[in-house]
Structure 1
């Protein structure tokens, strides 16, 4: 029996219309109360589900998960047999893990389902699910069809590209496969992610699996040390930390069982002069291609059509591909549209050709004038009305265009929820912990008491860790987020609220950035997660702002945008070829490189210096840069005159070799601090920075983004903070000055410490230290914010700086004085003092224990 397409479309329209009406009622935009799913429609749907899931197409799988999700959301309590029916349906369509959500009797430890009413149905489900299972030792894991395909393809392929919606569960299966490979043969795993939040999440996922399989001799590190006492390592890196390994060692990673690069779409922006992170990621992958022996390579990202070609271009070998457009979560987008002074609640789904539309009949005044970019009292009221309609137990993410606005929105929401949320002991302890370790006036403490939080790049690392844990524990209902949400941060939210696509609050005459359709799809995909939710909803408060977006003109509104990634520097080079070639052919002393071309000129010179004429010409050509042999010989001839060592140039790949040579020749003009015991470290650092700003301004501006403050020596203040940071002065003490009188100033200093001090300053000073004091660890003190070997080792094991400093205070003096502490010594000491620690400190140690 085959269901006609027209019949299936009509059924789907009825189901989605029911969902649409229920949401409109919940938001109080139309009359009526919430209803259970109609029984006559249930019967029709169950018959259709049985037919279309016996041999389903991809589209029928999407329809099946959507119908099941809506029915389950609105099911009547007396529909006792529905669970058994859905177990079979979901298993048929390759979404077997979703059955764990609907079986209240599911036993997670033994991974067994409760008995079904029909023995025949139970056998049928068991047989079908067995095809989606994998075993490691005595443990069995139930996978989706997509996850099982990844597992099988990694058995067959050395290089695999994965493209899928954000909720498809690819991170779990990659971690599980990595463990399986290590069980077969010891070695290392390298996992590259774009953000520190993801470093923490992935590290914790691996720690849980290592503990489950009693592989406690494996260590998880976020820094390459080069002097490791064991080769049983799982590295979880950002691209900056990973490429640092290649600056220390030409072939740093041995016996790599699998390299995983997540959020690979970030590599696309390498041609942008301003996007150094994309260039670092691209260069890192080239280093892996040229120097490392890798048993398996995986690149993954959301909705990338040419993911296999990306893999082939990056690694020079044939790539397998596993992609799916099916999500285990039904995603709906609801958008408020204004047309001729009337308001409509539109419902968008990838299964609908056109959106469903309902006139808004109530609370029209709440919507009011929702346009523009500023946040007014009316806009805050509109956001609060939306959240209130979703229910007090819903977990919501509210997108904010900027970090400052995220804090302001959270403050406003917290005030409005003041009377509706009771006290919670764990939240109270969390507030005390953050207040004591950051600042008593930190606004995050004020909003948390009403189960509201904000999440952005300026959160201290230890605060980000405990906040994400609190969100996962559902202690917090409303989280205001910036674009950090698009970089793979997994927060368990059922609903995403987006006002408009703007990435600004105040309009600028020159640049007013907006989210692209691809980025909007990424955000919408964060609503609902595998094994957490059946339905994820996005609420757009101003559809008209998206309708007029230039990015959306040639696409359907709120569609699941896909993209193709183009790699290399070809377009950037060809667009300025004449100017770049002229600059390369000039004598260095006679030229002033245009800033837009600085990176490419540096890249070309570094390539020629590192690989020699012929190999460099081929390497440059492979990334889209075609330079004739005569020019390469001329550049090579000039490079041979350098006095600075080639090794110093190779360790500082983003510095022009001629600039490094100039720095080398003036090296005696600098007095660098090399010990924390020196006097006037901040003064010495200031003198260095003032001279570098004068003599090497492009590099100074690249690595340090210091805001001018009237009447304040901003460079000296920056250096004082850097000195305090490297001397293990606690963040709370750094922020205790009268200057930090409000949260904006507090967050600015935190942002400066976490970005400019820990990353920018070491990168700017690195060439100077490589020349004058290559063996001194002083820059590592700045980078980690710690000098004590024990504290630094904890940080390298992904314990946040503030937590590591506080934890070390509990350690015995013999352990504190260890010069080369081992992993076992540190873990033993942590276990010894564990009972004396507060709850939120213990939470952060899960990654170690």
Structure 2
């Protein structure tokens, strides 16, 4: 979603050279907008917003904050990080204007509750439909597995539409999804909702066989297939599927591949798309028809009504389709639909912090057990850790929870009880306030425990440091640091037996290795150790490890580790060991270890394209202008570098060298 919004804004503002739009948390862009004639628009996740504020500190100034999908403030874990980001920026910019966007919610005004009392506030509460959405129930005709009756939901009296005839008997749930989608969505523009990446791949494969075996001669589809083979693996299942106008889509796929899948689906060249809950998380993709059976969000969790209708909202989008169909298979099956097919409704916004605080007794007990001497008794789950960290930081900053903006939503007795739980442990915290603020969701108790571990360390202080990813001892250092985080900060890299694998992936990610290279190295490791593996599973697991460990857990906890280590090194009068020029959070977020790689991404390239180009560039210290000069010099030779056409196209687009008016004659 970040990439899509960034691209859309650039297209809208392409005639205005006074506006710079980026999704990278770069101080250079920020300072150029505050000291020069340019204005800056940053398109961020909550984590990237925190990264930029961490880099700028008190200098961070914002005129306008727009929060899309603002109801995500109620999400488990990341909702706390979003709330903390909004509050942190608001504290630094009290005159800032804020716009919250939250579709299909009962109480959008809830998002304004914590605004300052003297701040003017306006809530626009509307649920006006812009397209007609038809919910259609599909049930098998008794004794005839190839015939399915279709009924339109209309109040309490469904309207019979007719019978859908399948070409084959759908033995099994995956075939049921695939066959009904192929029969009902023959015009194309059909999304098939699947409960997981593996199911999406299997369903897409089944649909591709029903659609015929003729390969396309469309160059854009062939280019996407080529990118899938070179960018992931030569046997990645996506490649042969897109050559037949079918694809799958899930969150851990490389962004350039995902973006191209979405674009070709919008253009009608990909006719069927098997997708997962990624589409609920903000991807702006419309379709004619959605086919769904027993939707889940997360492993085994039935989809909530608001998530179902968020998904259903993709069926027909204003400006693209005037109506859309949502086909619900086996609506009377209680295992598939525990509460039936959800009726359209608006759902309430409720902050994750408020939900957890309402469990006052359990939360207070958790806080009292979250002591500096032990990591035991953390069984309640990460939501208690996240909210507990938020409350402890709030208590340390204000001295009491009763002075916090959220206090008006909770009873004074509950706040006093939590205050008592926080009072004892806060007295033991001497981590500085600026470090606590830099790491939302990381408990001050854990940070203090880590600092105590550093103080008790009897070995060479240099052994506490990370090594550069290019160093021969980088892997061993990351293994040690991950285990030290588990033992002192929070048990996040689990199980312990997999830490070596996680450390290896993190180091390879930091080195700037391509996803294809990381996958290839995992395959070689399995083969060297005579371990059996299934290629599709290994590919998905590696993608997941890159996304969840290298890009989420590692930046969050390793950057906290490094900040506490800086405190200790200052305390030990070893400031000479502090590297002020390297930010591990930025490096892990984008998977870069060189100035050149970051500069390529600063131009607007996806990481996949940046890594592919970096393999051809000798220097590791090029800034943006240096990278543009290299592209300008070597662009005519791209065809001889064996670069996928999509990477060449993206490179020429972001560098402006594909503009015919600019006088360039480069081609793919």
TM-score range, shorter chain: 0.7 to 0.9
Indicate whether 1:490 and 2:284 are aligned: yes
C-alpha deviation, 1:693, in angstroms? 2.5
> In structure 2, what is the Cα distance between the partners aligned to 1:453 and 1:578?
46
Indicate whether 1:325 and 2:143 are aligned: no
Alignment of 1:2-151 (within 5 A): none
Give the secondary-structure state (helix, strand or coil) at the position aligned to 1:480. strand
C-alpha deviation, 1:786, in angstroms? 1.3
Q: After alignment, is 480-489 or 728-737 more displaced?
A: 728-737
Match for residue 482 of structure 2?
A: 689
CA offset digits 1:678-729 (Å, max 9, x no partner): 3221011112222332344xx232xx466x8xxxx53212222222221122
Q: After alignment, is 515-524 or 638-647 more displaced?
A: 638-647
Match for residue 389 of structure 2?
A: 602
Match for residue 450 of structure 2?
A: 663
Q: Is the 8 A contact 2:20 2:40 kept in 1?
A: yes
Aligned CA distance change for structure 1 residues 218 and 501 (closer, same or farther; 3 Å): same
Indicate whether 1:621 and 2:380 are aligned: no
C-alpha deviation, 1:482, in angstroms? 0.4
Aligned CA distance change for structure 1 residues 420 and 246 (closer, same or farther; 3 Å): same
> In structure 1, what is the Cα distance between the partners aligned to 2:366 and 2:61?
42
> In structure 2, what is the Cα distance between the partners aligned to 1:661 and 1:220?
38
CA offset digits 1:214-270 (Å, max 9, x no partner): 2234222223223434112111111121123334444454242x321111222123x
Give the secondary-structure state (helix, strand or coil) at the position aligned to 1:642. coil
Q: Is the 8 A contact 1:584 1:601 kept in 2?
A: no
C-alpha deviation, 1:812, in angstroms? 8.0
Alignment of 1:417-816 (within 5 A): 417-419=211-213, 422-502=216-296, 512-545=300-333, 549-552=337-340, 557-567=341-351, 569-577=353-361, 580=364, 583-584=367-368, 588-589=372-373, 592=376, 594-596=378-380, 597-611=384-398, 613=399, 617-619=403-405, 621-622=407-408, 624=410, 626=412, 632=419, 635-636=422-423, 639-667=426-454, 669=457, 671-696=464-489, 699-701=490-492, 704=493, 714-736=498-520, 737-738=523-524, 739=526, 742-772=535-565, 773=578, 775-777=580-582, 779=584, 780-796=586-602, 798-809=604-615
Aligned CA distance change for structure 1 residues 451 and 789 (closer, same or farther; 3 Å): same
> In structure 2, what is the Cα distance between the partners aligned to 1:476 and 1:418?
14
> In structure 2, what is the Cα distance between the partners aligned to 1:424 and 1:651?
49
Match for residue 285 of structure 1?
A: 86
> In structure 2, what is the Cα distance between the partners aligned to 1:440 and 1:582?
49
> In structure 1, what is the Cα distance between the partners aligned to 2:464 and 2:335?
58
CA offset digits 1:431-453 (Å, max 9, x no partner): 11221121101111121111111
Give the secondary-structure state (helix, strand or coil) at the position aligned to 2:13. helix
Give the secondary-structure state (helix, strand or coil) at the position aligned to 1:223. coil
Q: Is the 8 A contact 1:721 1:734 kept in 2?
A: yes
Q: Which of residues 10, 14, 17 is equivalent to 1:216? A: 17
Match for residue 138 of structure 2?
A: 336
Q: Is the 8 A contact 1:223 1:235 kept in 2?
A: yes
What count of residue pairs does the alignment treat as equivalent?
608
Give the secondary-structure state (helix, strand or coil) at the position aligned to 1:230. helix
Match for residue 267 of structure 1?
A: 73
CA offset digits 1:564-587 (Å, max 9, x no partner): 212363443342337606844997
Q: After alignment, is 239-248 or 408-417 more displaced?
A: 239-248
> In structure 2, what is the Cα distance between the partners aligned to 1:408 and 1:828?
45
TM-score if structure 2 supplies the norm length? Answer: 0.81
User: Could you list the runs of 5+ residues in structure 2 that have no partner in the other structure?
Assistant: 34-38, 458-462, 527-532, 566-577, 639-643, 657-668
Q: Is the 8 A contact 1:226 1:252 kept in 2?
A: no
Aligned CA distance change for structure 1 residues 278 and 583 (closer, same or farther; 3 Å): closer
The structure with the larger Rg is: 1
Indicate whether 1:311 and 2:95 are aligned: no
Aligned CA distance change for structure 1 residues 545 and 799 (closer, same or farther; 3 Å): farther
TM-score if structure 1 supplies the norm length? Answer: 0.65
Q: Is the 8 A contact 2:182 2:210 kept in 1?
A: no
> In structure 2, what is the Cα distance between the partners aligned to 1:558 and 1:581?
37
User: Could you list the runs of 5+ residues in structure 1 that have no partner in the other structure?
Assistant: 1-197, 270-274, 505-510
